[in-house]
């Protein structure tokens, strides 16, 4: 099973846990980090790409600002990897509009343009900060898009199969579909060591064996719809470290049960 990276909403928690954690750049950079914070855990940084494009239809954080912050704080947060400033390819991100309770600004660009901008950003970040571990992301919507993105990296001189980690984008909201399973297995078959963004339990159960690592904050949504833990005084535990720790333990136990491995082989 993949290395599981738990999404955290509070940077201060990095000094209280030892398991791998993912924190959004927006959470980290919106205010000064706690003065005495020294992360005890391996930390991954999400660039907040989905939120940027959803709200603005473009990136408002420059590559220079992003790498400067990462470089200045990498020791404090025990930075392991950071995501690039990639361009998601969900139809809502591209076309914009109202979807349920969410409003999307829309980039009004093509999927292929998003692929080119994703690759260009990784090349820019690598040039600006060769000292930082920033992994590339393969973006797309259909399988052919992802394969084209791999070709774009190759044309730019980036051998994805030679890298220790490659993100797979635009899968979070449709991870339970057979289509995503095909995309993941195809990319893994090319020799890519994949990181899955926002992979929930069902996705991990279905195709987790093809991932090198995955992150999720699904515990927070689960907690929001559940009663608070005994002894907790808040209305719910959606922002509760104790709930996150217990949820992670239950997930790992489920992923490592013999029943799960039997079911995966049968599938």
What is the 8-class DSSP label of residue 132? S
For the entire predicted model, the pTM comes to 0.92
Sorted by sequence, the CB contacts under 8 Å of residue 23 that are 6+ apart come out as 7, 8, 9, 11, 14, 43, 44, 45, 46, 77
What's the rounded Cα separation, in Å, for the pair 178 and 120? 30
Mean pLDDT of 52-62: 97
pLDDT tens-digit map of 100-136: 889 999 999 999 999 999 999 999 999 999 999 999 9
176 C-beta neighbours (distance < 10 Å), count: 15
Given a cut of 90, is residue 35 above it in pLDDT?
A: no
pLDDT tens-digit map of 201-254: 888 888 889 999 999 999 999 999 999 999 999 999 999 999 999 999 999 998
Q: Which domains does the chain have, with CATH numbers?
A: 3-216 (3.20.20.105)
Q: Would you state the pLDDT for residue 175?
A: 60
Q: Locate 88 and state its tokens.
A: 């998601």
In residues, how long is the chain?
A: 267
What's the rounded Cα separation, in Å, for the pair 181 and 187? 10
């Amino acid at each position: 099973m993949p290395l599981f990276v738990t999404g955290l909403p509070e940077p201060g928690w990095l000094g209280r846990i030892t398991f791998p954690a993912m924190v959004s750049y927006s959470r980290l950079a919106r205010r000064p980090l706690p003065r005495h914070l020294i992360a005890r855990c391996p930390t991954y940084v999400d660039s907040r790409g989905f939120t940027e494009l959803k709200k603005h239809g473009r990136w408002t954080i420059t590559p220079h600002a992003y790498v400067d912050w990462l470089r200045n704080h990498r020791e404090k947060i025990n930075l392991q990897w950071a995501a690039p400033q990639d361009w998601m390819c969900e139809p809502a991100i591209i076309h914009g509009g109202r979807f349920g309770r969410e409003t999307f600004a829309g980039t009004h660009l093509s999927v292929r343009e998003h692929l080119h901008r994703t690759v260009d950003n990784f090349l820019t970040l690598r040039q600006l900060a060769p000292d930082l571990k920033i992994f590339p992301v393969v973006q797309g919507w259909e399988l052919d898009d992802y394969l084209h993105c791999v070709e774009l990296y190759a044309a730019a001189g980036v051998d994805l199969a030679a890298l220790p980690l490659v993100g797979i984008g635009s899968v979070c909201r449709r991870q339970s579909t057979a289509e995503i399973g095909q995309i993941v297995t195809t990319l893994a078959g090319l020799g890519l060591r994949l990181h899955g963004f926002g992979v929930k339990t069902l996705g991990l159960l279905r195709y987790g064996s093809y991932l090198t690592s995955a992150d999720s904050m699904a515990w927070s949504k689960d907690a929001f719809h559940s009663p608070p833990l005994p002894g907790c005084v808040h209305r719910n535990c959606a922002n509760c470290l104790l709930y996150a720790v217990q949820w992670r333990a239950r997930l790992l136990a489920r992923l490592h049960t013999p029943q799960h491995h039997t079911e995966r082989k049968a599938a």
